[in-house]
Amino acid sequence: MTSVVAVLSLRRQRRLGLTPVPMDRFEDAKLRVKEATDLVALIESYLPLKPRGRQLLALCPFHAEKSPSFTVWPDSQHYYCFGCGKHGDVFTFLMEREGLTFREAMEQLAARAQIPLEGVFTGDRDRERRGPDPTQVLGEVAAFLQQQLHGADGAPARDYLDGRGLLAAAESWQLGFHPAEGALRAVAQQRRWPTAVLEAAGLLRGTREAFAGRVMFPIEDERGRVCGFGGRVLPGAPPRSDGTEQPKYINSPESPFFNKRQVLYGLHKCKQAGSRRIVVMEGYTDVIACHLAGFTGAVAALGTAFTREHARKVERYATDGVVLLFDGDRAGLQAAERAMKELVNSSVAVRIAMMSGAKDPADYVVAQPQEEPDAVTERRARFADLIDGADEALAAWFRLLRRRLDFTQAEQLEKAARECGALLQTVDSDLRRRALLAEMARHLAVPPETLARTLRRHQPRPQPAARDGGAPGTDPATAAATAAAPVPLPPPTPESAAERDVLAAVVQQPTLVAQATAEPPRTPAVGELLAMVAHAVAQGRTTRADVVRHVFAACAERPDLTAVLAIAIARADEIPDPAAFLAHLQRDRQRFRARDSARLLRQQLQDAQAAGDQATADRLTRELMEQLRQHRPRAAGG
Ligand SMILES: [Zn+2]
C-alpha cells in the first residue's frame, strides 16, 4: 500500500482523499494557482491566438516574426516558440511578458483566482499585522479625487488639462482634482481610511491637506497599484499664507509603499501597451502626452534620476532597451553624466538622447489648437527620430566628456583616462569591465593596452581587467544573447527523424511507450524523453495531457529536450492512428539498423580480404547474406 501511495502524485492523493504527506505550503499554493489559471485565457488577454488542430498559434510576443511560431497546447497548458525557444507555463509567460519575478507572477495570478497566499512566502507576517493594504486605500482616494475632477469645483482643473491636451487621458490615467481643505478629511472619516496611510502618502500633514486645490496624478507601481500622488498647482492659484508662491509640482514623500528609486510613473501602462522600449523622461504630464500620441514606452522617474533600482525593475521587461531623454541644457548634461555612473552595472541596454534646448517631450507631441495635422505629424516624427537615434550610453558619456576635455592634448587625454578609470572601478563584473575598457580605448583612440597601463599607473590596486587589456569578443551582452538563444537541433538523419516520429506517436498515445522502447532509441534526447514518458506511465498517467505536462515539468531546465519534445507534440497532432504509425516506424528503424550493420560487415569483409584472412572473410560473407535474407524477405523470395 505504501508503495502505491508513494508513486501517486500529490494531486492524485488529494483527489482520492488519501492523507496527504505534509506538502510544502509553497508547492501546494503554486499547484492551486496553476490549476485555477487557464493559460489560453491568460495569453489571449495579451494577444490573439488562432486554433490549428489541437494547438493554438500566434505571432511570438518575445521575438519579432512575420509568420506565427508561438505555439500553445491547451491540454498540457504549455507554450513553446519554434522561433526563439521561449517556453513554459502560466508563471513563466507572465514573468516574461510583464518582467515579473516568480513571486510577483504568482501573487498576480493568485489574486486573479482569489486564492489567498497567507503564510506561503516567509517574511509576510509583518505585512499582515500592518492592517489594510495601503495601495488599496490610495486607490479609493484616487477614485474619489477623480470624481471631484468631473464635479462643479473641478472646472478649472478640467480647463487646465484641456489646455495641455491631457483631458482625453483623464479616464485612463485616473486624473483628479483635490477639493478645498476639509473635504478629504471628511470623506476619510466616513470611509474609514486610516489616517496613517493618508499621512504617509503626504495627503494629510498635521491639520493641513497638502494637495488642496491641485490637479492630481495618481502614481501607480508597475502592477497598477496606487502608491502615491503627484499634484500640480492650478494657474492663478492664491499664494500661500506666508505670501510665498506655491510650488508648481509636489509629490508624495517616500514611504514603505512608495520607493522613489524603484517606481516609474507610467510603467504599468507601458506594460499594458506591450512597449518593450522604455523611454524615461522627467514630468508626468510629458508621459501622459506621449502615451496619447502613441509613444507608449514613456515613463518618468519621480524626483530622482533613473536609478540602478529602476533599471533592475525593467531589465527583464525592456527587451528593446531603455532610452533616457534629457534636456540639452546644463542640468540635463549633468543628469546624463550621473546616469552613466548609476547604470554602468545594469544589464539593460541604456541609450541617451538629448533634446535640443529647453524643450519638453510634450512640446514635440501635443497638437496645438488650430495646428495643421501635417505639422503635428512632422513634429512627432522628429521626436521618434530623436529616440531612435539615441546614442549608446557610453558613447553619449564620451560626447559629454569631450565637451569638457580636449583629447588631442596629452594632459587632458590622461585626465579623461582617469575618469574612465573611476567609472571602471564601479563595475562589478570582470567580463563587463574588460568589454568597457576596450570600448573606452576605442573612444579615446588609444590601444587598450595603453589605457590599461595608464590606469594601472594611477591606481594603487591593480585592476583585474587591466591586467591583459581589453579582450574584444567578450562582450557580456553577446555572451548573454548566446546563452538565451534556443538550442539549435542538429539536422535530423533519416534515423533520428524516425525516432522523433516514434516520440510523437508515443506523445499521442502514451501507453505505446513500452513497445516504442523495445529497441532503445539511438538519439539521446529521444531516449531521455521516452524514459520520462515511461516513468509517467508507470505512475499511472496515461492521458496525453497528463503525460505531456509531466514530461514538460521534468525537463524544464533542459532546453535541448524541450525543443525536441515541442516538435514531437506538434507532430503528434498529425498522427491519426499512433499504433499503426509506430509499427510502420519500427519497421523503418529495423531497416536503418540492418543497413548500418550491413555497412559495418562490408567494411570488415573488405579489411579481411585485404589482409588475406580467407576464413574471416567467408564467415563475414555468410553473416552478410543471412542479414540480407532476413530484412529483404520479398527480394529474397522473388
Ligand atoms: Zn519567439
> Residue 175 CA to chain centroid, in angstroms?
29
Q: What share of the chain is helix, strand, coil (3-state, %, to 5)?
A: 55, 10, 35
Cα-Cα-Cα-Cα dihedral of 58, 59, 60, 66, to 10°?
Answer: 150
- For residue 480, the CA-to-ligand 1 centroid distance in Å is 17
Q: Which residue has the higher pLDDT, 492 or 129?
A: 492
pTM score, two decimals?
0.58
Distance 323 CA to ligand 1 centre (A): 24
99 or 446, which is more confident? 446
User: Lowest-pLDDT range, 219-223, 277-281, 448-452, 472-476?
Assistant: 472-476
Burial class (CB in 10 A: 0-12, 13-18, 19+), 132: exposed
Taking a C-beta distance cutoff of 8 angstroms, is the pair 211, 229 a contact?
Answer: yes
* Arithmetic mean of pLDDT, 112-122: 81
Q: What is the mean pLDDT of residues 96-105?
A: 84
Task: Grade residue 23 by pLDDT with cuts at 50, 70 and 90.
Answer: low
Three-class DSSP category at 481 = helix
pLDDT at 175 over 90: yes
Chain-centroid distance of CA 447 in Å reads: 37
Locate 382 and state its grid cell. 522628429
Ligand 1 centre and the CA of 296: distance in Å?
22
Angstrom distance (rounded) from CA 565 to CA 547: 12
| Span from the CA of 48 to the centroid of ligand 1 (angstroms) | 15
Q: Are strands 176-177 and 50-52 parallel, antiparallel or unpaired?
A: unpaired
More confident residue, 68 or 122: 68
Residue 510 pLDDT: 93
Q: Report pLDDT for 149.
A: 97
pLDDT digits (tens, 9 = 90+) for 384-419: 999 999 988 888 888 888 888 898 888 899 889 988
Per the prediction, the chain carries an average pLDDT of: 82
> Rounded to the nearest whole angstrom, what is the distance from the C-alpha of residue 83 to the centroid of ligand 1?
5
**Distance from the CA of 387 to the center of ligand 1, in angstroms?**
25
Compute how many other C-beta atoms are within 10 angstroms of the C-beta atom of residue 57: 19
Residue-wise pLDDT for 230-258, tens only, equals 999 998 888 877 788 888 889 998 888 89
- CA nearest to 366, candidates 180, 99, 162, 577: 162
Query: Residue 52, Cα to own-chain centre: how many angstroms?
Result: 27
- What is the DSSP secondary structure assignment for residue 61, as one 8-state letter? S
- Backbone phi, then psi, for 570, in 5-degree steps? -60, -40
- For the stretch 349-378, pLDDT in tens is 889 898 876 578 988 898 888 888 899 999
Q: What is the mean pLDDT of residues 475-503?
A: 56
Q: Which three cell numbers stand for residue 353?
A: 538622447
Is pLDDT of 483 > 70? no
Q: What does the alpha-carbon distance between residue 314 and residue 276 come to, in Å, rounded to a whole number?
A: 9
User: What's the pLDDT at 557?
Assistant: 73
pLDDT mean over 124-139: 70
Average of per-residue pLDDT across 533-544: 87
Encode 357-393: b = buried (16+ Cβ within 10 Å), e = exposed: eeebbbebbbbeeeeeeeebeebbeebeebbeebbeb
Q: What is the CA radius of gyration of the chain?
A: 33
601 and 608 in contact (C-beta within 8 Å)? no
Hey, which residues does 70 pair with through a beta bridge?
A: 58, 81
Supply the pLDDT for residue 123.
54
Rounded CA separation 60/220 (Å): 28
557 C-alpha to ligand 1 centroid (Å): 18
What distance in angstroms lies between residue 60's CA and the mean position of ligand 1's atoms?
A: 4
Cell of 467: 591586467
Q: Is pLDDT above 60 for 484?
A: no
Of 218, 216, 243, residue with least CA distance to 232:
216
Whose grid coordinates read 513554459?
88
Say how many Å lie between the CA of residue 489 and the centre of ligand 1: 16
List C-alpha distances in Å: 549 to 238, 409, 541, 553, 561.
66, 66, 10, 6, 14
Does 476 or 559 have the greater pLDDT score? 559
pLDDT at 564: 87
Which residue pairs, CB below 8 angstroms and at least 24 apart, start in 514-520? 515/582, 515/586, 516/582, 516/586, 518/586, 519/586, 519/589, 519/590, 519/593
Length of the chain: 638
Instruction: Please list the alpha-helical segments (H only) found in 37-84.
Output: 39-44
Listed in order, strand segments (DSSP E) in 340-382 are: 350-354
d(CA 43, ligand 1 centre) in Å: 14
**Res 268: pLDDT:** 93
Other C-beta atoms closer than 10 Å to the C-beta of 593 total 14
Q: How many angstroms separate the alpha carbon of residue 167 from the centre of ligand 1? A: 38
Distance from the alpha carbon of residue 71 to the mean position of ligand 1, in angstroms: 9
Give whole-number Cα distances, 218 to 165, 171, 173, in Å: 18, 12, 8
Residue that wins the pLDDT comparison between 139 and 77: 139
Answer with the residue of higher pLDDT: 302 or 161: 161
- DSSP lists the bridge partners of residue 278 as 322
Position 492 scores a pLDDT of: 62
Q: Are 568 and 500 in contact (CB under 8 A)?
A: yes
Q: Which residues contact 587 (CB under 8 A, 6 or more apart)?
A: none
Question: What does the pLDDT look like over 31-41, one tens digit per residue?
Answer: 889 989 999 99
Kindly list the protein residues that place their beta carbon closer than 5 angstroms to ligand 1, a single-atom ion: 60, 62-63, 81, 83-84
Cβ(70)–Cβ(60) under 8 Å? yes
What does the block give as the cell for 573? 497532432
Q: Distance, CA 86 to ligand 1 centroid (Å)?
A: 6
From the CA of 57, how far away is ligand 1's center (Å)?
11
CA gap 116, 305 in Å, rounded: 37
Residue 21 has pLDDT above 50, yes or no: no
- pLDDT score, position 632: 59
Q: By the 8 A CB rule, do 562 and 78 touch?
A: no
pLDDT digits (tens, 9 = 90+) for 301-327: 887 788 888 888 888 788 888 999 987
Report the percent of the chain where pLDDT is more than 90.
29
Contact 233, 214 (CB under 8 A): yes
pLDDT of residue 193: 92
Which sign, positive or negative, has the C-alpha torsion 121, 136, 263, 319? positive
Measure the CA–CA gap between 290 and 365, rounded to whole angstroms.
6
Confidence band of 498 (pLDDT split at 50, 70, 90): confident
In the predicted model, is pLDDT for residue 581 greater than 80? Answer: yes
Closest CA to 299 of 380, 368, 381, 219: 219
Say if residue 481's pLDDT is above 60. Answer: no
What percent of the chain clears pLDDT 70, i.e. is strictly above it?
88
C-alpha 59 to ligand 1 mean position (Å): 8
pLDDT at 358: 58
Winning range, highest mean pLDDT, from 86-90, 179-183, 548-552 = 179-183
Looking at residue 561, its pLDDT comes to 84
